Structure 1
Amino acid sequence: MQTPKHARYAYRGRVPHEVIKTVEFNLLPPLPDEARVQVLAAPVNPSDVLQLTGEYGQLPPLPAVGGSEGVGRVEAINGNARGLEEGDIVLLPLGCGSWSTHLNLPTRDLVKLPHDVDPVQLAMLSVNPPTASLMLSDIVELQPGDWVIQNAANSAVGGYVAQIARRRGIRLINVVRRESAIEAVWQAGGENVLVDAEDLPRRVEETLGEIHVRLALDCVGGVHTEHLARCLAPGGTIVNYGSMSGERCMVSPRYLVFNGINLRGFWLANWLRKARADRRQALFAELAAMVADGSLHASVQASYGIDEVREAVQAASAGARHGKIVIEPNGRSRAAI
C-alpha cells in the first residue's frame, strides 16, 4: 500500500488553494464494525471551496480534511460487514473528508455500488444529482410537459437538472451568464439556451411564446434571481440553492407581492437530516441506476492526484470551466475527459 496521504487545512482564508496542503498521515487499522476504504475518486464541489474560505453554511472543526463526497473500494473489514465484501465499490458518506488516499469508515455508512461503472461518475453521486432530482420533485408538483427555468445551466447541477428533466418529460429553459457557455449546454443536449440579462423575460417570450413557467432554479443570486422571477407565471416558485454571484437574492416586492411569487431555499443537508432512511436509499438507488445506464453523466474538465490538491482547488475556483474538477487520490486515470 502506498503511503497514506490526505489534503488537510488548519485555517480558512480568502484564497482557498493557499490554505490546503497534502500531508502524510498514519492510517490505523479499522475499528470494530469499520472498513478500510481506498478512495478512488472525489470531486471538488463549490461547497468544498466555500468550506476552505469559511463561507459555507456548515463548517467542520479545524483542522479538517477536505472533500465532502466520493467513491472507494473496500480493502479490509473488521467486524460486522453489513453485506459488504472486500473489493466492493462503495459510496462514501457525506462530509467524510474524501480527499484522502484511505479512510476508515463505519460499514453502516457505506452504500454498495455497481462494479462496472466509471468511479469518477459515481463519485459525484451524493450531492449534485440528488439536489437536482429533489428540486424537480419536492418543491412544485410537476407533470410531463410543465416548464421550468434554471440559471447556471452549464454548472454540474444544471447538467443533472437537464438530464433528469428530460427523463421525466419536463420542459426546460436554460440560462447562462456568458455567450461562451452556450455551446457546452448545447453539446450536453440542452435546449432553449439564453444568456442572462435584464431583458431575459422578453427573450423567453420571443423564443418560446407565451408559456406557463411554474418553477425557477436559482444558483446565482443577486439581480439574477429577479430575472428568473419575472419569467414566472403568477404564483410561481423560485428555489435558491447557491450564490455564484456572491450576492444576496434580490427580488422586488412587485413580483413577490403582486405576482404572488414564492422564494425559498434548498439545502440537501437539511433534506437528508429529515428524510426517512428508506427514502434516502431509494433516491440514491435510482440515481446510481441512471449513472450505470448512462442517462446521468457529468462533464469532467480535469482530474488531479492527491499531491496536486492545490492545483485542483485552484482550477475548481476558476469562473470559466467546462466541467467538474475531480481528485483521484490513488492515481490519476486521465488528464481531461
Structure 2
Amino acid sequence: MADAEVVVAVPAELSDEVAAQMLVNPLTAVMLRREAEEHQAIGYDGVLVQTAAGSSVGRLVTGMCDVHGLGLINVVRSDRGAAALRKRFPDVPVVSTEHQGWAQEVRRAAVGPPVSVAFDPIGGKLTESLLDLLAPGGKLVSYGQIADEPFSVHASTLLHKSLTLQGKNIGRWLSEVSAEWRASDIAAAKLIALALTDQFEVAATYGLGELAEAVEHAVRPGKVGTVLVRPR
C-alpha cells in the first residue's frame, strides 16, 4: 500500500525503464531551471554554466535549455566526455576540465554575454572556479557533493560581486512545497520524460538478488545512465 499523495500515474507512452527514472532527475532539472529563470539575465543576455553536464541531470538540463532557448555552456571532466556530449548536443559548447585553462575556455565560449548562473553537483575546488567565472550579481546553485570536500570563498568575493549561493535537493523540495506546487512540478517532470525520452539511459538492470552488484555499479566512476533493479 502507498499513500495516494505520493503515487504518480505513469503516462502510457513511457517504457518501464523511463518511468523508473521519471521523477528524481527530471524534478531536479525542473528545480534547477526555476532557479536559473529567477535570475533577470537568463533568457536575455546571461549565460548558464553547468558542471557534470554528461550526467543524467545534466543531459536533461541541456535538453530543457535547448527547448526554451536558454544560453548554456556545458562542463565535463574529460575530453572523452566532451566528445560524447557534443554528439548528443552539437549546438551546445562543451569544455573539459582536463585542461588547466578550462575556465578561460568557458569565458571564450560565452562570446561576450555574462556568466550569470552556474549549476554544480560536484563541490570542492571546482566550485571555487565557478565562483570566479560568475559575473557580478551571479548565482551559483549547488545540488550535490560529489567531490566530498569543502570549498572556500572569501567574503570580498561575495561582497564586491554580490553573488548568491544556493543549495537545492529533492528532500527539501518534498518538505517545503505545497501540494499544488508539487503537482505542477510533477507534471513538468512528466513532460520532460515524454519530450526527452532518449536521454534516459540505462547503464544496467539487476535482480533483487544482485543488490550488491547494483550498488557497486551505481557508484562506479564513468558510469553512463541509471542502474535499475527489477523486483522479478
TM over 0.5: yes
Matches for 1:52-91 after TM superposition, within 5 Å: none
Structure 2: which 5+ residue stretches go unaligned? Answer: none
**Which residue matches 2:62?**
162
**Which residue matches 2:11?**
114
Match for residue 192 of structure 1 among 86, 93, 114: 93
Point out the more displaced range, 238-247 or 189-198: 189-198
Alpha-carbon separation, structure 1, partners of 2:228 and 2:17: 7
**Which residue matches 2:218?**
316
**Which residue matches 1:179?**
79
**Is the contact between residue 216 and residue 228 of structure 1 (CA under 8 Å) also seen in structure 2?**
yes
Q: Provide the alpha-carbon RMSD of the alignment.
A: 2.0
**Is the contact between residue 184 and residue 322 of structure 1 (CA under 8 Å) also seen in structure 2?**
no
**Which residue matches 2:49?**
149
C-alpha displacement of 1:144:
5.6
Aligned partner of residue 235 in structure 1, secondary structure: coil
Residues 43-94 of structure 1: per-residue CA shift (max 9 Å, x gap): xxxxxxxxxxxxxxxxxxxxxxxxxxxxxxxxxxxxxxxxxxxxxxxxxxxx
**Is the contact between residue 149 and residue 213 of structure 1 (CA under 8 Å) also seen in structure 2?**
yes
**Which residue matches 2:148?**
246
Alpha-carbon separation, structure 2, partners of 1:257 and 1:145: 23
Alpha-carbon separation, structure 2, partners of 1:252 and 1:118: 48
**Which residue matches 2:2?**
105
Provide the TM-score with structure 1 as the length reference: 0.62
Question: For this pair of structures, how many residues does the alignment match?
Answer: 227
Relative to total residues, which structure has the larger strand share, 1 or 2? 1
Q: Which has the larger radius of gyration?
A: 1
Alpha-carbon separation, structure 2, partners of 1:138 and 1:239: 8
Alpha-carbon separation, structure 1, partners of 2:5 and 2:106: 48
C-alpha displacement of 1:176:
0.9
**Which residue matches 2:228?**
326
For the pair 1:262 / 2:159, whether they are aligned, the reply is no
Aligned partner of residue 257 in structure 1, secondary structure: helix
- Kindly provide the amino acid, as one letter, of the partner of residue 171 in structure 2: A
**Is the contact between residue 163 and residue 295 of structure 1 (CA under 8 Å) also seen in structure 2?**
no
Alpha-carbon separation, structure 2, partners of 1:168 and 1:133: 12
Alpha-carbon separation, structure 2, partners of 1:211 and 1:175: 17
For the pair 1:282 / 2:184, whether they are aligned, the reply is yes
**Which residue matches 1:213?**
115
CA gap 1:294/1:244 in 2 versus in 1, 3 angstroms: closer
**Is the contact between residue 306 and residue 327 of structure 1 (CA under 8 Å) also seen in structure 2?**
yes
For the pair 1:233 / 2:130, whether they are aligned, the reply is no
**Is the contact between residue 239 and residue 263 of structure 1 (CA under 8 Å) also seen in structure 2?**
yes
**Is the contact between residue 173 and residue 192 of structure 1 (CA under 8 Å) also seen in structure 2?**
yes
Alpha-carbon separation, structure 1, partners of 2:192 and 2:73: 22
- Kindly provide the amino acid, as one letter, of the partner of residue 9 in structure 2: K
Residues 160-189 of structure 1: per-residue CA shift (max 9 Å, x gap): 111111121111111111222112322332
- Kindly provide the amino acid, as one letter, of the partner of residue 124 in structure 2: G
C-alpha displacement of 1:135:
1.4
Structure 1: which 5+ residue stretches go unaligned? Answer: 1-103, 331-337
Answer 1 or 2: higher relative contact order, Cα 8 Å, separation at least 6. 2
CA gap 1:264/1:299 in 2 versus in 1, 3 angstroms: same
Percent identical among aligned pairs is 27
For the pair 1:126 / 2:40, whether they are aligned, the reply is no
CA gap 1:294/1:208 in 2 versus in 1, 3 angstroms: closer
